[in-house]
Amino acid sequence: MNIIIVGPPGAGKGTQAKKIAKEFNLVHISTGDILRDQMEQKTEIGLAINDLMNAGQYVSDDIIIPLLRDRLLEDDCKNGTVLDGYPRNIYQAERIDETVSEITAVVDIEVDDEHIIARMSGRRSCPDCGKVYNILYYPPKKENICDDCGAELMTRPDDAPEIVKERLETYRERTNPVIEFFRQRGKVITVDGTQKIDDITRSIVASIKAN
Ligand code: AMP
């Protein structure tokens, strides 16, 4: 079973991907996390993509595709995966069969731009464990401290308002066609991403089971 989650930045892809992975016993793979990990480790790739990532632009296919392929070869992926943030353009979508054997469903989390901009201004992430909070909707118990590991929370550089606008434009231009691509294959499940987190998950799980 392989599930793809698409949606604009701040739609809640990561949150839903983790919950769906748990429900179906799959591995959650976020290409954004893979790339941020390269940056943290200051690998050759990490250093090369740093400015691009912080500006909210997509990383080149030559970089992301091999990184994802390597990750998918790891043992824990045998049972299936939830891909969060991939594919993000038509080139990646057209080559999905070379990366993942079979796609069960593509979940499109819809959220309008106004909601996104409001949400992103409150987003804070834990640099250690990756947990994501929102100071407006899902604050940590102790201000600016991760509930799980006690690290100080940070704002991702690409979550700055002017960068978010850029990311939204890129998403609409380059990733919207991906949804259309999979819609033609009859695989798309569309959910309203402005509902409560658990309601969204319930709706996704029910649609996947009914598929
Ligand atoms: P995310 O954590 O999914 O919001 O991704 C953060 C950033 O990682 C994006 O803004 C891109 O710069 C980069 N990125 C993640 N996935 C991809 C992808 N499939 N193709 C190109 N760039 C990506």
Residue with CA nearest ligand 1 atom 5 = 32
CA 138 – ligand 1 centroid, Å: 23
Q: By the 8 A CB rule, do 3 and 82 touch? A: yes
The CA 69 to ligand 1 mean position distance, Å, reads: 15
Query: Of the residues 29, 33, 35, 67, which should be mutated to test ligand 1's pocket, given the most ligand atoms within 8 Å of the CB?
Result: 35
Reading across the β-sheet that carries 2-6, which strands appear in turn? 27-30, 81-84, 2-6, 105-110, 188-192
- Model confidence pLDDT, tens digit, residues 151-185: 999 998 888 888 889 999 999 999 999 999 999 98
What is the mean predicted confidence (pLDDT) over 96-116?
89
Peptide bond into 161 cis (omega under 30): no
| pLDDT band with cut points at 50, 70 and 90 for residue 9 | very high
pTM: 0.89
The span from the CA of 113 to the CA of 200, in Å, is 18
Nearest ligand 1 atom to alpha carbon 30: 3
Q: Is 196 a catalytic residue?
A: no
Pocket residues: Cβ below 6 A from ligand 1 = 9, 30-32, 35, 53, 56-59, 64, 85-86, 88, 92, 158, 167
H/E stretch holding 124? strand 123-125
Structure confidence at residue 99 (pLDDT): 81
- Taking 80 as the threshold, does the pLDDT of residue 56 lie above it? yes
Q: Is 172 a catalytic residue?
A: no
Tokens describing residue 71: 């990750």
